[in-house]
Amino acid sequence: MKQLWLTAKLDIVESLRARWFQIYTLVFGGIVALLFLFGLTESRVLGFIGLSRLLVTYIQLTMAILPIFVLITTVRSVAGDREAGVFEYLLSLPVSLSAWFWGKIVGRYLVIFAPVFLAMVASVVIAIAMGIEVPWNMFGYYTALLAAMAACFLGIGMLISALARSTDMAQGAAFMVWLTLLLFLDLILLGVMIQGKVAPEVAVGVALANPLQVFRTAALALFDPQLIVLGPSAFVILDAFGAAGYMVFALAYPAILGVGAAFLGYQIFRRGDLP
């Protein structure tokens, strides 16, 4: 356990000094600042006003940015470290492979989750200072959704890093994964599939397997419990899970997918050449 925390601490310090982390923090802090600056708390959409409107917009923007950011920075730094000889040296020290791999995941998880979470906390603090009501339920669920999203894409990123033998290959693979998930969002390929007479169950099945779509639907479910904006597919989802069941699924499935991918990555890592 000591080795795991030492490795996690090491990864945190390395990340805090990296340029990607500074940009990453600036992006999410900037989003919240801009949303306040443009008076989003005073606008109204679908009956949502105040901080809930801001949080809905924030989570939608985060869903667009966080996956690709986490995927690319994870594979770049892990595969890059391996290529540069960092693994050769640090893995010559007496640290177990499990402590090293999971320590890196723990450290990186804290580093990628902290800025998005702290940006949300900052919005709550500003809202309280401005006398705006805080929707605590929504804040809690969105925090859990962000935590699940970060775990999901970090796990996938670590799996790609374990598989790829070069930074270029890892970056290419990460981009392809993200692009594939993006293509299977409801607005793009799923629409085409339904137009092309593909069975609705298949389209909904694909949507449920796509973590990006799961996050989107769960975020919508908070202010559109009947999922009216999703059209007929809402019937399948709500019949299968119910509104509350789907919200639980939206947290559990991506988290399990991320941990599963990380576990597979660990098995590949420990059975192969390390540097």
Partner 1 sequence: MIRFQNVSKTFRRARVLDGIDLEIGLGERVALIGSNGAGKTTLIRCLLGEYIHDGTVTIADREPRRHRTEVLGTIGFVPQLPPPLKMPVGQLIDFSASLCGTDAARIHDIAGRLGLDTAPILDRQFVRLSGGMKQKILIAIALGRQAKVLVMDEPAANLDPEARKIFFELLAERQNDATMLISSHRLNEVSTLVNRVIELDMGKVVLDDKVADDVSLSGLLACRVTTKRPEPALAKALTTWNFRDVADDGTAWEGEVAGPDRLRFVGMISRYVAVIDHVSLTEKAE
CB of 11 to partner 1, least distance (A): 10
Whose Cβ is closer to partner 1: residue 90's or residue 169's? 90
Alpha carbon distances (Å) from 207 to 6, 67, 188, 195, 210: 39, 17, 11, 15, 5
Whose Cβ is closer to partner 1: residue 13's or residue 240's? 13
For residue 145 the two structure tokens come to 């959704």
- 34, amino acid identity: L
CB of 85 to partner 1, least distance (A): 5
Asked if 254 and 148 touch (Cβ cutoff 8 Å), the reply is yes
CB of 81 to partner 1, least distance (A): 8
CB of 262 to partner 1, least distance (A): 20
Whose Cβ is closer to partner 1: residue 6's or residue 147's? 6
For residue 144 the two structure tokens come to 């859990």
Under DSSP, is residue 48 helix (H, G, I), strand (E, B) or coil? strand
**Interior CA angle at 27 toward 80 and 179, to 5°?**
60
Positions that interact with partner 1 (CB under 8 A): 2-3, 6, 9-10, 13-14, 17-18, 84-97, 271-275
CB of 110 to partner 1, least distance (A): 16
| Helical segments of 51-135, H only | 51-84, 86-90, 97-129
Asked if 152 and 180 touch (Cβ cutoff 8 Å), the reply is no
45: DSSP letter:
B
| Helical segments of the chain, H only | 2-17, 19-37, 51-84, 86-90, 97-129, 136-163, 167-183, 191-195, 200-209, 211-223, 233-241, 243-271
Whose Cβ is closer to partner 1: residue 90's or residue 236's? 90
CB of 93 to partner 1, least distance (A): 5
CB of 274 to partner 1, least distance (A): 4
Q: What gap in Å lies between CA 112 and CA 109, rounded to an integer?
A: 5
Whose Cβ is closer to partner 1: residue 197's or residue 271's? 271
Whose Cβ is closer to partner 1: residue 91's or residue 236's? 91
CB of 232 to partner 1, least distance (A): 51
Of 206, 219, 224, 102, residue with least CA distance to 149: 219
Whose Cβ is closer to partner 1: residue 60's or residue 98's? 98
Q: What gap in Å lies between CA 207 and CA 32, rounded to an integer?
A: 29
196: DSSP letter:
T
Whose Cβ is closer to partner 1: residue 18's or residue 27's? 18
